[in-house]
Structures are given as C-alpha cells and as structure tokens.
Structure 1
Amino acid sequence: MRNDSQIHATSPAAPLALVLGATGGIGGAVAAKLAGRGYAVRAMHRDASSQRAKSPDWEWVEGDAMNREDVVRAARGAQLIVHAVNPPGYRNWGKLVLPMIDNTIAAAQAAGAGILMPGTIYNYAPDVFANLAEDSPQNPLTAKGRIRVALEQRLQAAAGRGTQVILVRAGDFFGPGAGNNWFAQAVVKPGAPLAAITNPAERGVGHQWAYLPDVAETMVRLVVRADELPAFSRFHMRGFWDEDGLQLGNAIRRVTGRPDLPTKRFPWLLLRLASPFVPVFRELLEMRYLWKTPLRMDNARLVEFLGEEPATPIDEAVRVTLASLGCLGPATGGATTRAPADDRRKGVAA
C-alpha cells in the first residue's frame, strides 16, 4: 500500500482520471483513450510495480478495489473515476460487486470526481429484448442481474447527492488485448491459426457485439461533454448486430481467407454435466438465456447526443482482434503472439 506522499502530483493543466481495472479489456481501452485526450491516467493495481514497465506513461499506485481507504487515497485529485473492475471471472459476485461500487462512490464523493463505467445486459430479461432502451424495465432473471440492478440504483442515488455518473451499456466485448470475453474464450481459440469457429448462440438467433475501441471512444466522448448531461446518464450502444448469429463467423472467414472454416456448436450440454463440479460452468449456464433470445439495444439516445456512434468496420475490428490473439498467421499478415490475459482471471483489480 502506498502512503499519501507516494501519490504523485499531476500538472494542473491535465485533468486526472483514476482507472480501476486498467489491466482489463475495457479499462485499458478507456485509459488509452483518455490519455489520448490529454488526461493524466492514474491506475490502481494490487501489484503496481509489475505494471509500470508495461504502461510507463500512466501513474501506477498500489491498492485493492475492495479496500475503501485504498480507493479514496488513489482518487485524491481526480476529476474522474473509471470503474471497470470486476471480481475474477464470475466468482463471488454477491460478495464483491456491491462493496466495490460503494468504495468507488465514496472515493468519488471525497474527491469531487465523476464516475464512468460500463454497464451490463444482465439487468434485463427477454420481455424487453426486442428493442432495449435505456428506460426499459429492469426485471432480471438471475442473481447477477439483480446485483447489477442494485449497483445502478446505488449510482443513481449517488448522482442525487451530486456525483456525476455516466454509464454506457454495450453488447459482448471483443477487441485487441482483451482475453476475458466470449469472443476470445469461446468463439475462437487464441494462440494459433483457427481450425474452427464456435457459436454459442441458438441457430438463427441474433446477437449484439461491441468492439472495445469503439466502446472506449464512445465513453470518452461522453466524458468530454459531461457538463451537458444530467447527473445520472445511461446510454446504449448498437455495436455490431449479428442478425442471425452467422455474420460474425462470416467476417472471421473473410479476414482469415478461410471460406471453408467450419462452425461448431458451443458445448452447452457438457457445461451442464460438469457444472456440479466446476463453479464457473454454473455461472456461464446462468447466462445462457442471452444466447437463446435476440437482444438488440436501441442507440437513439446516444446518436441524438453525440451525432453518431463510433463504429469500426466489422472486418477491420475482427482482423485487429484476431491478430492480437495470435490467430492470424503470416499468410494473412497477422501477429503470432498471444494477447495478454485479462487480469480479472487472476483476481487482481482489473
């Protein structure tokens, strides 16, 4: 743990953003975008010294998102806190998610900072999936969904006490350097040219995906114009809408130059059989309803405010992602190194 004197002073000309979860996919992407917009980035990590060599332009401080004193200390002088931290994998949500957001709220109130965070679709049930808007009723089917509803209620209450909150909800993430997502852990196998594509969706069921750099760019554009927003703002992104569950796979085939690349069904039955012995399988099964019913978010509010939604062409997004995961060989011009693992799987503040 760093003491107060070890929190570096930042230039008064550069607004300071504290990023919780900077080693994760969305946290790292938002931190990079903020740095590109002139923010000084301070990142908190349980092992800050190990991260400094990887991202030397950011200020790294020791801390645990479950320790309120650590978060409050790290947030001193910050104008913004990016809350992109989650429990490792899907474990211990009930015990960790709400205390983490309570600590971030306390730190934001102490520093006079705003809060920026990615939302989830767990909050919603299939009754609103056809056209999901920001004000759609939240009647979750799962324990995780109920926790996320409670989290957003706490953020809304904090906004009522004067803390600016911006929440951006998008589809399933994919993108460079992010390993803890359905794309990198189910759809493709990182580390080698692809032999097959795995599809978790039911046949013919559409699915919504979100390219991390686009999500991060959207979030930062909203932050830049935060003074035009109400204290509590929610926005939904359209992202890449795979209308029949086949279009993402088709993009992978185009990018790899492998039109014959086969598609496999996701082994849901195997997960069910093994779930009594593997806790994470039980957690994944709880989310299966998101692959059985089309869910499509309406981005009208976002487009009305920003004028557009940042959107990278799908083939380019897939190409960059596959290259970062080591799935493209020399024939397709891709990198062959494996992307760094998302530290959320290691239980760190990511």
Structure 2
Amino acid sequence: MASTALILGATGGFGCEMALALHNHGWQVRAMQRRPKAAARDLADLPFIDWVKGDAMSAADLRAAAEGVDLIVHAVNPPGYRNWAGTVLPMIDNTIAAAKAVGARILLPGTVYNFGPDAFPLVSETSPQNPKTRKGKIRVELERRLHAASKAGVPVLILRAGDFFGGRQGGNNWFAQGLVKPGKALRSITYPGAEHLGHAWAYLPDMAETAARLLERADELDRFAVFHFGGHCLGQGVEMVDAIRYAARNPDLKVKRLPWFALTLLSPFVETFREMREMRYLWQHPLRLDNSRLLAFLGHEPHTPLDVAVATALGRLGCLPSEAMKLQPLPA
C-alpha cells in the first residue's frame, strides 16, 4: 500500500508543491483545511488531494485528520507574519502530539530565521543559532520541541532554505510581496537589500522535490535529520534583478529601493510592516546555505535554472506580458 501524507498548509507555497511532489512519488495525499471545499476549488488542478476539514490550532482536529498517515508535513504559518507568538508554537505542539499518536514522521520546511549575523555568510546545519528577532527565537524554540519529540520516538526531517519563491501558490513571500506586484505587469522592481550583497533563494518546486527524495530514503535518515537546501544562492542581489528583467524582456526595468523608513514609520500601526522590518538584517548581510551534507546524501540537488524559475514564478503571479510568455514558454 502507498504511504499517506497529511499536509498542513496545502494552500500555501511549500505545502502545495509538497503535495504535488509526494503524489509524483507515489504517495496518497491528504490535506487539512478550515474551508476544504474552497481549497479544493482553488487547487482544482490537483484533484488527487483528499481534503478534510480542520484547524491546526485544534489538537482534536489534527489528531482526527492524522489517523492512518505516515507523514505530517507541517507547512502551516500565519499569513503576513501576523501573530506568530500566539499560533506557531501551539500548532507545532498539536502536530507533535498527532504524529506521536499515529506513529508518523514530521517534515518541516525550515528557514534561516534561526540564525543571527554571527552565523553568516555561510550557514551550515551546525551553525550557532543566536537569533536577534522574535520570529527567530520562536523558530529556534519550534525546532527545540521537534528535537525533544524525536528523542521521544517521533522521527523528524527539517529541510532549511532561503527566501521562498515560485510554485502554484507562491504569493506569500518576499519575491511576490516585495520585489514585484502580483497581477500587474512589471513597471519596476523593488529590491530590499544592496544589489552587491549575496542572498539565498529557494525555488519551491525544487525544494519540495528535494524533500520527497529525502523521504524516499527515510530508513537511512537520523531520527532528527536536518539538511540545508542550497537553492539559488546568488553571489549578488543584482542576479535576481537581472533574471526578472530577462523574463520580462525588458533590460531597462527600473530598480527601486524598499522604503524601509516608511515601514518603520508605519510599523506601530501595521503588524505586517512591523514584522517585515524585523527581518531587515537578512538583507544587510551576504548569506549562503551550505548544502554539502545534502549533496553527500542525495548526490544531487534538484535545480531549475534561475531564468526558467523566475519566468515561471512571474508567469504564475500574472506579471508577464503575453509576448514575453510566448517567447519563453513556462513549464507545466
């Protein structure tokens, strides 16, 4: 019988791509959502998902949804950075309890929020975790709880990556909400950092495929397994700018600076701006993820060329003119 995965956050960027990757690798896919009928309509091109109703903040809902599964993909996060303190840790506690009850593995898409500037520019799985932000401290505590759960018998896989972009539902990230404007033709690019500084990006279809390949060799994984996904670790931020210009077939697209000062002024009144401002340090230092451990284990990291990944992401966001789409067909 095929293994079964329960995905929390299947309507989000990583969760959606993970559903597709697991399906392609022969898994049965179940997803819990507060509005499952609406979710099924939104992801009608993924008809293989078995939608069940439930809320990740409810331990009872999650336990019922997890019955009979082999894997819980914990890809759920509050949108727009809102109310992390009140939701992130209760949700992971519910996932841990459900996984322990049914004997399932937990897969977590990790971030670089765990790390402060003292770990830069090259961050490995064993780099010191000294976060300077509230969200970073929450992520450290989240992983600490997963590590404790692994010692109690719950297998855990964490795949950490840089800033997400791309995918069918890739609209809740810096690429979609900072650099470009979804649904609008490109008139300019807003870049949050200095163009000469390196930055780590993770194309979500590649990241999900990597996680699926790791799960194919689950018997070889440590009880608490952590890998870093290299993705597109760009030597300079201008490489992402140039990739967007190339996809738009417009080498003269203007680059604007993110108005950090305005975000600072508005942060007392807009929670999302306040939380975005807290992550500014990630755009002030060069950052790469050391994926040597992943390469040693898998032998290869799935990698879509940057120009194809960016064009596909922009196409799905509705940012490319029809002539650019014709010049560079987007992958399915």
Q: Please give the range of the TM-score, normalised by the shorter of the 2 chains.
A: over 0.9
Pairs within 5 Å for 1:68-79: 68-79=59-70
Q: For 1:232, which of 214, 217, 224 is the aligned residue?
A: 224
1:254 correspondence with 2:242:
no
Of 175-184 and 202-211, more deviation after overlay is shown by: 202-211
Q: Once the 2 structures are TM-superposed, how far is the Cα of residue 202 of structure 1 from its aligned partner? A: 2.5
Confirm or deny that 1:48 pairs with 2:36: yes
1:91, 1:324 → 2: CA distance?
Answer: 25
Unpaired stretches in structure 2, ≥5 consecutive residues = 328-332
Matched, 1:137 2:125: no
Kindly provide the amino acid, as one letter, of the partner of residue 26 in structure 1.
F
- Residue by residue, what CA displacement relative to the aligned partner does 1:49-81 show, whole Å, maximum 9, x if unpaired? 222342432111000000000001100000000
Question: In 2, distance between residues paired with 1:260 and 1:50?
Answer: 40
Output aligned runs, 1:180-195, within 5 Å: 180-195=172-187
Partner of 1:30: 18
| Deviation string, structure 1 residues 67-121 (Cα, Å, up to 9, x no partner) | 0000011000000000000123211111111110000000001110000110111
Matched, 1:314 2:302: no
Q: For residues 52 and 281 of structure 1, what CA distance do their matches in structure 2 show?
A: 31
Q: Which residue of 2 aligns with 1:21?
A: 9
Task: Give the deviation of 1:241 after TM superposition.
Answer: 1.7
Query: Do the aligned partners of 2:245 and 2:251 also contact (CA within 8 Å) in 1?
Result: yes
Q: Secondary structure at the match of 2:67?
A: coil
C-alpha distance in 2 between matches for 1:256 and 1:58:
34
Identity of aligned residues (%): 56
* Matching residue's letter, 2:138: I
CA distance in 2, matches of 1:144, 1:255: 33
Decide whether the 8 Å contact of 1:126 with 1:295 is kept in 2.
no
User: Is the Cα–Cα contact under 8 Å of residues 79 and 172 in structure 2 kept in the other structure?
Assistant: no
Give the AA of the match of 2:96. Answer: I
Task: Answer with 237-246 or 58-67: which moved more.
Answer: 237-246
Q: Which has the larger displacement, 248-257 or 106-115? A: 248-257
Distance in structure 1 (CA, Å) of the matches to 2:312 and 2:252: 21
Structure 1 Cα separation of the partners of residues 36 and 317 of structure 2: 25
In structure 2, distance between residues paired with 1:125 and 1:176: 28
Who is 1:339 aligned against? none
1:1-350 to 2 correspondence within 5 Å? 13-53=1-41, 54=44, 55-177=46-168, 178-333=170-325
Q: Give the Å deviation of 1:203.
A: 4.3
Distance in structure 2 (CA, Å) of the matches to 1:334 and 1:47: 36
Residues in 2 aligned to 1:268 and 1:214: alpha-carbon distance in whole angstroms: 31
Worse overlay, 272-281 or 32-41: 272-281
What is the TM-score when the length of structure 2 is the normalising length? 0.95
> Shift in Å at residue 334 of structure 1?
6.0
State the TM-score, normalized to the length of structure 1. Answer: 0.90
| Structure 1 unaligned blocks of 5 or more | 1-12, 336-350
Tell me which moved more, 87-96 or 259-268. Answer: 87-96
Q: State how far apart, in whole Å, the 2-side matches of 1:117 and 1:31 are.
A: 14
Contact 1:206 1:295 in 2 (8 A): yes
Q: Match of 2:167, SS?
A: coil
How far, CA to CA, are the matches of 1:75 and 1:280 in structure 2?
32
Give runs of ≥4 in structure 1 deviating > 6 Å. none
Number of paired residues? 323
Q: What RMSD over aligned residues (CA atoms) do the two structures have, in Å?
A: 1.2
Structure number with higher relative contact order (C-alpha < 8 Å, ≥ 6 residues apart): 1
